Structure 1
Amino acid sequence: MRKLLIIGIGAGDPDHLTVQAIKALNRADVVFLPDKGEEKAALRHLREEICARFIEKPYRTVTIETPQRAAAGSDYRGVVVDWHARIAALYARRFTEDLAEGQCGALLVWGDPALYDSTLRIVERVRAGGLAIDWEVIPGISSVQALAARHKIALNRIGEPVLITTGRKLAGGFPAGQDSVVVMLDGEQTFARIPAEDLEIYWGAYLGTAEEILIAGRLADVAGEIEAARSQARERHGWIMDIYLLRRRPAATEA
């Protein structure tokens, strides 16, 4: 049977790889590299750098050209399901043609495969489509962890929960009853469109890379600075990956 390793590689720094991830890479005969076009070539190059740095045995790389997701419109879930189906068809073809019976393949996933990443769902589709393949998941350092580490903060206040959500959900307003909210996948800079008086923000882009940007402060004071920095960085690089923590300002300093 074919074997597939789904390996979390961290938020951008090759040093984020765990010992478990490095050992998994060295089990792979074939590394499958998703390709999202020239605009995001840096993401592919980092995966190639990780392979060259950590794999100590002969291996092959196979590029999988990833299709663009259609504009979501009102049917967001339907668009995503269709997109996953198209990617799964490409993966199934590549796994069938480029991974022989008894061989081990690897997919390198940004951050952690379990957190706001579709690879696990897509591989489930491949298996449901009839391709016999065993698989294993190796966790990685997520951008959530990297954000907290780079800002030197704890994600939660004492005894309080943390909500992890998306910009699409935040557009409805800061969640009632929540103290700390981590926001991912926000291409619309939603933080700038919600009431800001009692919130502080810890924002980061390109975490773990040489292009890393960090900004923190009262949301009302720094929202414009973040918008400008984000716009300039996206224009310069052609893409951006960012994340932020929103937190209600405390009434009094914690002990």
Structure 2
Amino acid sequence: MIDLHLIGIGTGNPDHLTLAAIRAMNGADLILLPRKGDRKSDLLDLRRKICETVLAGATRVVEFDLPERSLVPPYIEAVNDWHASIASAWAAQIAAHLPRGGVLALLVWGDPSLYDSTLRIARRLCADGMDLNIHVVPGITSIQALTAAHAIALNTLAAPVTITTGRRLREEGWPGGAETVVVMLDGTCAFETLPPAGVTIWWGAYLGMPHQALVHGPLGEVAATIVERRAGLRRQHGWIMDLYLMRLADAFIQDGPQPPRA
């Protein structure tokens, strides 16, 4: 039996850890830290720092190479193959370091429930016959960090919120009938494809970190600024984690901006 704790660690700031997360980390026999290549070494360094900050006992910390996802379409097929490779990498580490079972912890950016596939990968191990008892320790999401950094509410009064990805925003346009849209996993600045009238955007990168970057304003006025700043930060650090919230003015809510025409 492997007790697998998936621990939400927020956006990289050790102050984002909950007391439950700290207890789970110190109660683990093993914490696995993925290496994602030289360009994303800062991500590994942040995980190392978190472990150095909170671990007080004999928890072992082991690093392993994370398989890379193919960039060749179709997207869903490539992601499924990638998840299968990650599950195999986990299984190899478990066999090597916890051959008789024990408590394993994985540190998940943000929260394991929101646009993260760690739970799906863990279920693959269960389907492959591994005896896993899965526990989730929730963390601060990047959405919470974004709204806190800008000091705004996620929703307007009694109104829903739509959470989507940059790929879907680019392909489908503004979600019909939505007033507030949060966009994650956008590597191509899909907001540029929208008609900007009536749209306000709140953008943030490296949220909660010393080099946190924020931009806010009417989309038509700040879109170019975000694109330029994002590109510069990515060159500087070799990677970027960012997301944004967009909101329509009242007069535009009924129909909303339409998808761009081919």
Q: TM-score, normalising length from structure 1?
A: 0.96
The one-letter code of the counterpart of 2:178 is: Q
Query: Cα offset for 1:200?
Result: 0.4
Match of 1:168 in 2: 167
Match of 1:91 in 2: 90
Match of 1:142 in 2: 141
Match of 1:20 in 2: 20
Match of 2:256 in 1: none
In 2, the alpha carbon distance for the partners of 1:72 and 1:180 equals: 32
Query: Cα offset for 1:11?
Result: 1.3
- Does residue 248 in structure 1 map to residue 248 in structure 2? yes
Return 5+ residue gaps in structure 2 as ranges. Answer: 253-262
Match of 1:111 in 2: 110
In 2, the alpha carbon distance for the partners of 1:148 and 1:65 equals: 33
Query: Cα offset for 1:229?
Result: 0.3
Query: Cα offset for 1:251?
Result: 4.6
Residues 2, 100 of structure 1: 8 Å contact kept: no
Q: TM-score, normalising length from structure 2?
A: 0.93
Residues 12, 47 of structure 2: 8 Å contact kept: no
In 2, the alpha carbon distance for the partners of 1:22 and 1:184 equals: 27
In 1, the alpha carbon distance for the partners of 2:237 and 2:147 equals: 24
The one-letter code of the counterpart of 2:197 is: E
- CA-to-partner distance for each residue in 1:64-123, whole Å, 9 max, x for gaps? 2111111142x2111111110111111111112111424211100000001001111111
Residues 34, 65 of structure 1: 8 Å contact kept: yes
Runs of 4+ with deviation above 4 angstroms: none
The one-letter code of the counterpart of 1:104 is: V
The one-letter code of the counterpart of 1:80 is: V
Return 5+ residue gaps in structure 1 as ranges. Answer: none
- Does residue 189 in structure 1 map to residue 182 in structure 2? no
The one-letter code of the counterpart of 2:123 is: E
Query: Cα offset for 1:4?
Result: 1.3
In 1, the alpha carbon distance for the partners of 2:49 and 2:70 equals: 30
The one-letter code of the counterpart of 2:124 is: R
In 2, the alpha carbon distance for the partners of 1:162 and 1:93 equals: 40
Residues 203, 214 of structure 1: 8 Å contact kept: yes
- 1:25-64 aligned at under 5 Å gives the runs 25-64=25-64
SS of 1:221's equivalent?
helix
- CA-to-partner distance for each residue in 1:13-72, whole Å, 9 max, x for gaps? 110000111111110111100110111111111111111111110121111211111114
Residues 27, 59 of structure 2: 8 Å contact kept: no
Percent of aligned pairs sharing the same letter: 48
The one-letter code of the counterpart of 2:176 is: A
In 1, the alpha carbon distance for the partners of 2:41 and 2:89 equals: 19
Q: Which shifted more, 131-140 or 98-107? A: 98-107
Residues 185, 243 of structure 1: 8 Å contact kept: yes
The one-letter code of the counterpart of 1:124 is: R
Query: Cα offset for 1:128?
Result: 1.1
- CA-to-partner distance for each residue in 1:213-236, whole Å, 9 max, x for gaps? 000000000000000000000000
Query: Cα offset for 1:7?
Result: 0.3
The one-letter code of the counterpart of 1:166 is: T
In 1, the alpha carbon distance for the partners of 2:71 and 2:46 equals: 27
